[in-house]
Structure 1
Amino acid sequence: MTADLVRLLLHDVIDPELGVNIVDLGLIYDLSADDAGVLIRMTLTTPGCPLGGYLDDEVRRALAQLPGRPPVRVELVWDPPWGPELMTDAAKRALGWFR
């Protein structure tokens, strides 16, 4: 199990309001994966976003594919605040933004 594999699996978690995965949206601030399990530090687009519980469930569902089904911990953080500059170019294109 590697951080790269975890990040790859997280591309399957789609924000249902925006239709873009949480990695390209820039919601994943940090992740680690080792023998002890997986730690994901992530944020939401706004503190009042009602999707926090849903996205937490979807992260766990996506990572259930990992070999050995390691424990997964998801930490929701607000610092630094999310901003559109954190999105990848692919996310910006998907949302109709142009550079």
Structure 2
Amino acid sequence: DDLEPLVWQTLSTCYDPEIPVNIVDLGLVYRLAFEPLPEAEKVRVLLDMTLTAPGCGMGEAIADEVCDKVLALPRVGEITVNLVFDPPWDRSRMSEAAQLALGL
């Protein structure tokens, strides 16, 4: 299916405003799944993501950006973004490119 790569590409345009790296490379996306909707060829996107710190005040803003961008994609009828903190995020979840960008 061509939708999943498109969703991942779209997620990579969403950034934590406090860190100049996208949420995919930061390793904030824990799960991406799809459920069919009753409307012909529409799907619900189910996304579990975390934040770099549980007390991060930008969580709602990041989730709203994810919702807006993914809902704009063809065939996406709904999206559910769950903020989860188990397992806790740590630097090991970051891509090599993100680590290099942040000088780690």
Say yes or no: TM over 0.5.
Answer: yes
Alignment map for 1:32-51 (pairs within 5 Å): 32-36=33-37, 37-51=44-58
Q: Deviation of residue 3 (structure 1)?
A: 2.1
Alignment map for 1:75-86 (pairs within 5 Å): 75-86=82-93
Q: Which runs of 4+ in 1 moved over 3 A?
A: none
Where in structure 1 are there 5+ consecutive unaligned residues?
none
Rounded to whole Å, the distance in 1 between the matches of 2:7 and 2:75 is 13
Show the counterpart of 1:52: 59
Across the aligned residues of Structure 1 and Structure 2, the Cα RMSD in angstroms comes to: 1.3
Rounded to whole Å, the distance in 2 between the matches of 1:66 and 1:10 is 11
The one-letter amino acid paired with 1:46 is A
Query: TM-score by structure 1 length?
Result: 0.90
Show the counterpart of 2:29: 28
Rg comparison, structure with higher value: 2
Query: TM-score by structure 2 length?
Result: 0.86
Task: Decide whether the 8 Å contact of 1:13 with 1:58 is kept in 2.
Answer: yes
Show the counterpart of 1:88: 95
| Overall identity of the aligned pairs, in % | 45
